[in-house]
Amino acid sequence: MNNDSQGKRDRAQEIESVYKRFSRTSLLRLRIRRYIRSISWLFAISLAFLTKRALDLAISTILIFFLSPFLLMGWFLSGRSFNKTPRLGKWGVIFDELSFTPQNQLAERIIRFLHIARIPVLINILKGDMSVVGPLPASPGDLSLREKAVRRRYNVRPGLISLWWIRKRANIDYATELDVDMEYIQTHSALSDIGVCLRAIPAILYGQGVPTVPDQIEILGITINNLTMTEAIDTIVDWSASSGARQICFLNADCANIAYRNSTYLSVLNNASLCLADGVGLKLAGKLLGQDIAQNVNGTDMFPMLCKSLSERNVGLFLLGARAEVVEGVADWVHKNHPNLKLAGFHHGYFTPEEEPGIVEQIRDSGAGILLVAFGVPKQDLWIQNHLLELNVGVAMGVGGLFDFYSGRIPRAPLWMREIGMEWFFRFMQEPGRLWKRYFVGNTVFLSRVFREKLFGKK
């Protein structure tokens, strides 16, 4: 009886709470909440556009104000007019991009000296034809707007600074311009635009655009093959598919310091079929010596593109080095990301001298066209030189810590850090105890030696 009335009371309470939940006011509240939630999307999207436009307005107004003497000077030097170049704007609408056209040689020299030829673009930004950050503007005849991918590039205003331009200046242009533009369009926000503006500063300071570079350059007695990433991969894959054993080395500032003390390693570098420039230290050295480096060609960036090319050419890959679980991790990465690539074999890098002949035989019999060796510098490069002729591979190259990255043992620096040439700082933060000397002392010593070479010539 007691239980019965308790049950009834519970039910009544339940009904009351359900009723309360659906009473008119709570239903209204629910509806409003849902409505706000649905329009908050719209609100957020319009805010993003508005803030981007607000940012453009603020930046262009401030810059026009401060640069107005130069704007006026350029305008007079251009015969009191602007040069107008037709460009494709947002949604494919054509607008005139403004610049200066100097009227005589002296005017031209002044404008070039002051680097002010493009500042009238600020007026385009103020008017809303362009943005501070966006894909670079193209001429109306340049691109086929009939292609959907190309058309999507014009969902946003073209920009004075583009992500592609920064990557090219930082020598990271491994994707096409359209790919980078689409990446920007899909991910941009007012905040990321501010990030792009900040990254443009180092790009302006040490970047060089697309330089005409010498094929070979020499830094501290080391001959470097000045190739771009694509040229290097094409050469390496061609050699891997052919007979003849070739050694390839990557050279960064730390390697150059080791070669300075270790003449055997120096001669390995100079006798290698390719010695490729890796990292911001080399780039600065090239700049100091007036010999521009074509691109930052490092093994870690190269690896996925190399795997792709090797699988297209059906060339086998052998991985040698690092701890057993690390090299296994790289093998897993290869299987997962490049299932068509023939992984001819792998072996860890902590073997005894007695085990060595067996490993050499394993590589020789594996049918691999290319061998990557990761023992660290200079051990890997000396090992390759000593065994190259017994290995029966087209190419053997030393790749340092590459296996640690692709096995996931060490995370790689985010792209924005690589864009501003700060990957080394990210690495330093991971292992400060081991790496402070290499980066802070090593890079300073390297650059001061390069500086001495510039002042007093080769040692």
Q: Which residues bind ligand UDP (CB under 6 A)?
A: 321-323, 326, 349-350, 374-377, 400-401, 403-404
Rounded to 10 degrees, the C-alpha dihedral 419/422/424/425 comes to -140
Q: Where are the alpha helices (DSSP H) in 78-176?
A: 105-114, 121-127, 148-152, 163-169
Distance from C-alpha of 148 to C-alpha of 182, rounded to nearest angstrom: 12
Residue in the block written with tokens 């390697």: 255
Least separation in angstroms between residue 222's CB and ligand UDP is: 16
Least separation in angstroms between residue 360's CB and ligand UDP is: 15
Q: Report how far apart the first and last C-alpha atoms of the chain are (Å, whole number).
A: 106
Instruction: Tell me what percent of the chain is helix, strand and coil, each rounded to the nearest 5.
Output: 60, 10, 30
Contact present, 283 and 252 (Cβ < 8 Å)? no
Least separation in angstroms between residue 417's CB and ligand UDP is: 18
Nearer to ligand UDP, 137 or 442 (CB): 442
Contact present, 347 and 427 (Cβ < 8 Å)? no
Can you spell out the DSSP letters for 235-296? HHHHHHTSSS-EEEEEE-HHHHHHHHH-HHHHHHHHHSSEEEE-SHHHHHHHHHTT------
Q: Which residue is nearest to ligand UDP (CB)?
A: 349
Rg (CA), the chain: 30
Q: Is 23 left (phi over 0), alpha (psi -120 to 50) or beta?
A: beta
Least separation in angstroms between residue 403's CB and ligand UDP is: 5
Nearer to ligand UDP, 125 or 320 (CB): 320
Least separation in angstroms between residue 259's CB and ligand UDP is: 13
Nearer to ligand UDP, 166 or 255 (CB): 255
Least separation in angstroms between residue 399's CB and ligand UDP is: 8
Nearer to ligand UDP, 331 or 374 (CB): 374
Nearer to ligand UDP, 369 or 400 (CB): 400
Least separation in angstroms between residue 427's CB and ligand UDP is: 9
Least separation in angstroms between residue 324's CB and ligand UDP is: 10
Cα separations in angstroms, 270 against 232, 298, 449: 17, 18, 19
Least separation in angstroms between residue 434's CB and ligand UDP is: 8
Nearer to ligand UDP, 254 or 419 (CB): 254
Chain centroid to Cα 19, Å, comes to 59
Nearer to ligand UDP, 120 or 321 (CB): 321
Contact present, 265 and 237 (Cβ < 8 Å)? no
Least separation in angstroms between residue 362's CB and ligand UDP is: 16
Nearer to ligand UDP, 217 or 255 (CB): 255
Instruction: Enter the tokens of residue 257.
Output: 């310091």
Instruction: Enter the tokens of residue 58.
Output: 């603020």
Nearer to ligand UDP, 177 or 254 (CB): 254
Q: What contacts 87, CB < 8 A, 6 or more positions away?
A: 94, 95, 96, 97, 129, 137, 138, 139, 140, 158
Q: What contacts 365, CB < 8 A, 6 or more positions away?
A: none
Residue in the block written with tokens 């104000």: 65
Nearer to ligand UDP, 32 or 324 (CB): 324
Residue in the block written with tokens 């002044």: 110
Instruction: Enter the tokens of residue 77.
Output: 């030097």
